[in-house]
Amino acid sequence: MGFEQAWLSYEKREVSVQWAGIHMIYAEQKGRIIEHAATELQTAFAKITGKEPVLCLERPEKELNGCILLKQKNGLKEGGYHLFEREGALVIEAPDEGGLLYGAFELIKQLQLGNAYEGMDICKEPVMPLRMLNHWDNMDGSIERGYSGNSFFFDNDEILVDERIVTYARLLASVGINGTVINNVNVKDAATWLITDRYFEKLRQLSEILADYGIKLFLSLNYAAPVELGELDSADPLSEEVRAWWKERMKLVFTQVPNLGGFLIKADSEGRPGPFTYGRTHADGANMLAEAVEPYGGLIIWRCFVYNCKQDWRDYKTDRARSGYDNFKELDGTFRDNVILQIKNGPMDFQVREPVHPLFGALEATNQMLEVQIAQEYTGQQRHVCYLIPMFKEVLSFRTYAAETDDTVEDIVSGKTFKQTKCGMAAVANTGNDENWTGHDLAAANFYGFGRLAFEPSAQAEELAEEWIIRTFGEDKAVREVLLFILMNSWRAYEMYNAPLGIGWMVNPSYHYGPSVDGYEYDRWGTYHRADHVGIGVDRSHQGTGYAGLYREPNASMYDNPESCPDELLLFFHHMPYDHRLRSGKTVIQHIYDTHFEGVELVDEMVKRFEGLEGKLPDKAYQRMLERFHHQKEHSREWRDQINSYFYRKSGIADEKGRKIF
Amino acid sequence: MGFEQAWLSYEKREVSVQWAGIHMIYAEQKGRIIEHAATELQTAFAKITGKEPVLCLERPEKELNGCILLKQKNGLKEGGYHLFEREGALVIEAPDEGGLLYGAFELIKQLQLGNAYEGMDICKEPVMPLRMLNHWDNMDGSIERGYSGNSFFFDNDEILVDERIVTYARLLASVGINGTVINNVNVKDAATWLITDRYFEKLRQLSEILADYGIKLFLSLNYAAPVELGELDSADPLSEEVRAWWKERMKLVFTQVPNLGGFLIKADSEGRPGPFTYGRTHADGANMLAEAVEPYGGLIIWRCFVYNCKQDWRDYKTDRARSGYDNFKELDGTFRDNVILQIKNGPMDFQVREPVHPLFGALEATNQMLEVQIAQEYTGQQRHVCYLIPMFKEVLSFRTYAAETDDTVEDIVSGKTFKQTKCGMAAVANTGNDENWTGHDLAAANFYGFGRLAFEPSAQAEELAEEWIIRTFGEDKAVREVLLFILMNSWRAYEMYNAPLGIGWMVNPSYHYGPSVDGYEYDRWGTYHRADHVGIGVDRSHQGTGYAGLYREPNASMYDNPESCPDELLLFFHHMPYDHRLRSGKTVIQHIYDTHFEGVELVDEMVKRFEGLEGKLPDKAYQRMLERFHHQKEHSREWRDQINSYFYRKSGIADEKGRKIF
């Protein structure tokens, strides 16, 4: 299938005279990444300005005006860059090749945004050391929770290495992403064989393409590989034989695929194998693997998404939200230095609204990464628009009180709070082999925004959206205003017509799409709303599951008390009567009715404004989006009516405003 | 996969001296079916008595004592037989080969049941002309709504012709089934090509095996075949070109597969193509096909399962239960004589309790068949035991008031009421390639009972169950008593812990297994319970959808009035408050609680008694059943608790007996 260039399409634009004057690119040092940085600059300037600058092999003697200079120079941290104008030349200085590449993309962005050339002076360092994508691609070509077509990494149990991978790498590098896990965390069948010679050659080729753009290739690993590959009878992490097997295996893997960054592991979770089988801890399991990859600088990224997925719905004591904390808190400090725990936002599972995971701030001596999901599994599956950066901003700015200052989630996963360097942020990717990469064209704003945010968390969600709009669709004012309005209202709208007040999970089982209030209510997944004719919500206070007490003070008290608990999380923490008055002054039931009617109205407004863009957007993109907007319009009504009807039928309390409920 | 012989396993038994004296079998006429009848007798007697009788080619001159005589003789209707003892010989007289075969199986049954030899005199005629199975087997080997493994007719888009088909034919003939449709009514992909030379050779072989046992092969047909086979642009039943195509095609098909009985068609239903596409009626569509198959004595069996499957749940007026009537009533009398309308029990779709379809008694000049489902789609999917013959007995004995007398459903589909000969009963089959044919060993009682019932509807459900038990598991008294208790209580138990009072549909969408009270409540399938905090049920009275009025009087008035409507169908016809008192004296809500607790208790009792049979049943069968009983025990609790919790949470009315509800 063909593919577009997303925000790197480099359409020709009107540019100022100075930008048009760029005629030469010179890099002081040589190197494969630098070479790609220079070529990218050449292509971008040629396409946008209409004039192709020359790549110089020799340093220009004089007349630096109109020249782009790339120069390796110490001073900034890895991946940082300093971009500035001097005597008419644009200079990019960076301590390493990756920094120069990022500087080159920064320069291209400035050109695309039409910012001033003269006096330009931008100095940036990546805030998070690791900025990763996690693809849940299966080797048969399908994608778990994929909403943009099939995989472009795999088909029919083979690895694809083609032109699309190069564009993929450019897109990642352009937003600062420096690592990618290409296969599903649920490692089964052929994927178990990725660490065997069946796939080494293709993996090596793939890793080299990525390395050219400063990106490390990672793989998801099957914890039970020694058994499933048929070589051992056990995967006990304390068995000498097993440890020796992994050491031998990793030696082979890193010899054959030298650019490999390491492995991501989902163990003892939702049926995946892990150290529990042998009565061992997650630390035993992770450390065994970490020891095996350590000689090659490899990382072991271990997911904390471990819970009892066979809960009895009649059991009011077990609490899935607690499980990450209960499983990992006591292991703090016992992991090797090249192990990173990857912690989901939030503690349940990527709902439209959850509190921050209580492990953040609880783990003090363990490397940590934040896992978010830009694949819109529970947030409209790329048929609804849902710009997630505002949510991620809230999570990152949450104070954990693990320290006096510098104690936000951002501080922790940037390494600031506990002086760590192996940490960062990962997003479950929303890409596939659809022509536009992300199914919904607007979903690309999450792809873009995630990378930018991990590099520069201080960037505002609105600013990133605007950048993305201009880089993708050009400078038309109406386009910018309308798409910005849509993106910035989309998460709010989706939350409004979705499950209310932080309770989550009112979706059709397995698919996770579309409303089903009781869909997960009597199931085994630990996901309940406990609604009866009097009230709704899960009691996670000290009288209930005690989950609120897992936070540090003052967060613990704030959540524990329904009077101080934020409205938007009230039902996550408390079982409340429908006539309870929220801090907003509305009753719970009236809040449900109001938000559901208003959410749909907001969608209608979004769609109305979008339709005004006909002719101002590329026709193909407009039609793709229009079709999805029409669906969202209809489907948001389905959400509204099902949820309102369910609660009206159950509570018997009428809408104060007398609107139609079925 | 291997397969067992079900009730034709012919285990050795103690028999009386006269049975043991059978030493000779002689058939006066020759013919392929007669030959199979004689061989079957020979095998059965050899295995059961231990002495193999001789097949005589010449009529024995004298000494008929201990001889079985098969003799073609007019007097009874097609398929009838007279079995009697005369001077120590057992004589089977019948007007045709099929009747002799049925008589032979009757004799074998008498032997298996240990009934008296001396003075035996049994004369029977099949009550229903057509006694058919409908297999929903796909050509890739899967079975739609199949719970006993994969297809034994198809695999990988090929037709299988092997020893299992012979045993299949024997099982059918032994209970009087004389027709079978081997492919799914949803005809797609390869199955569309069954009427092309790609499959003729295998179909011919298959049809000959079946013909040897008096069984006609039928196929499900794709209404849009001329288009989907790529030969025409239209399937308009009034187009001369289309009509000519079908005539030509049917000539070819019947020339190549002469034993074919005709076709079953699902048209304009759940996305299948049909005459509606061309603005034509079902009569137009059916008649076109009927004309094409008429020269070959072919039948067109046209399903009445036509409804709007894209209903808006907010719409309280549209009523799926009405749709069969509304679509077909006005076409009465317009179908050709070789068209049969196949009408589902019930008007919704095979729920555990529905009223009889109102088309029965409404159609007076149209051939009709009753369609039941022994595949336990909504009745426990062959993991729960649910003996359905008592339900079918109720349906057959329902008075339609279409005439002064002889007006039951049985009378109608037997041809008695309207003097028809193309009519009968079909069951959606519950078989697959599991070793025991039906997944749950006890599900074979439905397979057995269906055939027996269609042949002899006056047989009692209990009598059929007992026959089946003895023929399958022998004469042990404990086995007979326990299995009879289980079978005869199973439908009642299942109904008790299922959706209450005829409302149906509280199952997980798509799978149709396991409880989900709201599973179909906000969906597009026309399947709602309309429960709120005050009451539950669908108003199908004259004040509601008017469905009750589709019946003839006095049925219409009985159903229309909640005071006279039978309890078990109350919520099918009426929306009632939870505190409404049933005719039983209980409130609706207390009835829900009581039946759900008691249904589980009944299952416990069944399982307890079953466990007492260890050692008395073949070990393999015992283990298979035991595993299912344990599941049913647990799963019936899931039903009980989810349904009770749902209604307790919604109504707020406590159980009078204070039992645990969650």
A114 lies in the same domain as A158: no
pLDDT of B30: 94
Residue B59: per-residue pLDDT: 83
Contact assessment for residue A298 and residue A344, using Cβ atoms and an 8 Å cutoff:
no
Q: Are residues A199 and A328 both part of a single domain? A: yes
Burial classification of residue B458, based on how many CB atoms lie within 10 Å of its CB (0-12 exposed, 13-18 middle, 19 or more buried)? exposed
Q: What is the pTM of this model?
A: 0.92
Q: Do A642 and B515 touch (CB under 8 A)?
A: no
Instruction: Report, as an integer, the average pLDDT of B603-622.
Output: 98
B152 and B91 in one domain?
no
Spot the catalytic one: A349, A371, A466, A560: A349
Same domain, B366 and B510: no
What confidence tens digit (pLDDT) does each residue in B63-75 have? 789 999 999 999 9
* Chain B residue nearest residue A536, CA to CA: B649
Question: Looking at chain A, which residue has its C-alpha nearest residue B661?
Answer: A314
Q: Are residues A141 and A234 in the same domain?
A: yes
Would you say residue B269 lies in a domain?
Answer: yes
Inside any domain, residue A220: yes
Q: Is the pLDDT of residue B426 over 80?
A: yes
Give 10-residue mean pLDDT values along chain A (662 residues): 94 93 95 97 97 90 88 96 96 98 98 96 98 98 98 98 98 98 97 98 98 98 96 97 98 97 96 94 98 98 95 96 97 98 97 98 98 98 98 98 97 98 98 98 98 98 98 97 98 98 97 97 97 98 98 98 98 98 97 98 98 97 98 98 98 97 95
Could you read off the pLDDT of B204-238 as tens digits, one per residue? 999 999 999 999 999 999 999 999 999 999 999 99
> Are B153 and B257 members of one domain?
yes
Q: How far is CA B559 from CA B42, B318, B354, B503, B568, in A?
A: 54, 19, 12, 14, 11
Q: What is the pLDDT of residue B506?
A: 98
Is there a single domain that holds both residue B116 and residue B137? no
Give yes or no: A410 in active site. no
Domain CATH code at residue A52: 3.30.379.10
Q: What amino acid positions of B are annotated as catalytic residues?
A: 270, 349, 377
Q: Mark whether A169 and A308 lie in a shared domain.
A: yes
Verify whether the Cβ–Cβ distance A534 to B645 is below 8 Å. Answer: no
- pLDDT of B58 reads 85
Mean pLDDT of the region B40-62: 92
Rounded CA-CA distance B491/B606 in Å is: 12
Last residue of a domain, one of B92, B109, B124: B124
Mean pLDDT over residues B303-331, rounded? 96
pLDDT number for residue A77: 95
A177 and A256 share a domain?
Answer: yes
Angle at A323 between CA A321 and CA A328, to 5 degrees: 130
- Final residue of a domain: which of B91, B124, B157? B124
- Would B644 be classed as within a structural domain? yes
> Is A562 part of a structural domain of the chain?
no
Q: What CATH code is carried by the domain that includes residue A627?
A: 3.90.1330.10
pLDDT interval class at B389 (50, 70, 90): very high
Are B336 and B222 within one domain? yes
Give A-chain residues touching B642 at CB under 8 angstroms: 522
In a domain, B40, yes or no: yes
What's the full length of chain A, in residues?
662
Using alpha carbons, list the distances in angstroms from residue B139 to B136, B188, B191, B193, B220. 10, 9, 6, 10, 12
Q: Which three-class secondary structure string do you get for B311-361? A: CCCCCCCCCHHHHHHHHHHHHCCCCCCCEEEEEECCCCCCCCCCCCCCCCC
**DSSP, residue by residue, B219-248:** EEE-TTHHHHTTS-S---TT-HHHHHHHHH
Q: Helix, strand, or coil here: A145?
A: coil
Catalytic residue among A270, A475, A627, A638: A270
Q: What DSSP string runs through A310-373?
A: T--TT-SS--HHHHHHHHHGGGTT-S-TTEEEEEESSSSSS-SS-PPPTTTTT-SSSEEEEEEE
Which residue in the set A314, A650, A662 is minimally distant from B650, CB to CB?
A: A650
Q: Nearest-CA distance from A156 to chain B in Å?
A: 19
Confidence of residue B286 (pLDDT cuts 50, 70, 90): very high
For chain B, percent of residues with pLDDT exceeding 90: 98
Residue of A nearest to B314 (CA): A662
User: What are the Cα distances from residue B216, in Å, to A319, B39, B100, B337?
Assistant: 59, 21, 17, 19
Give, as one character, the DSSP assignment of residue B62: S
With beta carbons under 8 A apart, name residues in chain A contacting B535: none
- Measured in angstroms, the CA of B357 and the nearest CA of chain A are apart by 29
Minimum-distance CB partner of B533 among A313, A642, A652: A652
- In this structure, the answer to whether residues B71 and B146 fall within a common structural domain is no
| CB-CB contact of A370 with A395 (8 Å) | yes
Determine, yes or no, domain membership for B408. Answer: yes
User: In this structure, is residue B92 part of a structural domain?
Assistant: yes
Do A626 and A585 fall into the same domain? yes
Please judge whether B516 and A518 are an interchain contact, meaning their C-beta atoms are less than 8 angstroms apart.
Answer: yes
Test the A interface: residue of B518, B529, B641 with most A CBs within 10 Å: B518
Q: Look up A349 and say whether it is catalytic.
A: yes
- Domain assignment present for B481: no
| Domain hosting residue B589, numbered range | 497-538+575-651
User: The CATH number of the domain where B308 resides is what?
Assistant: 3.20.20.80
Distance CA A625, CA A627 (A): 5
Count of the separate structural domains present in chain B:
3
Which of B533, B534, B643 best tests the A interface by mutation, with the highest count of A CBs <10 A? B533
Proportion of chain B above pLDDT 70, given as a percent: 100
- A314 contacts on B by Cβ (under 8 Å): 641, 662
Q: In the listed set A439, A460, A481, which residue is the last one of a domain according to the structure?
A: A460
Three-class secondary structure of residue A301 per DSSP = strand
Chain B residues closer than 8 Å to A646 by CB: 518, 522
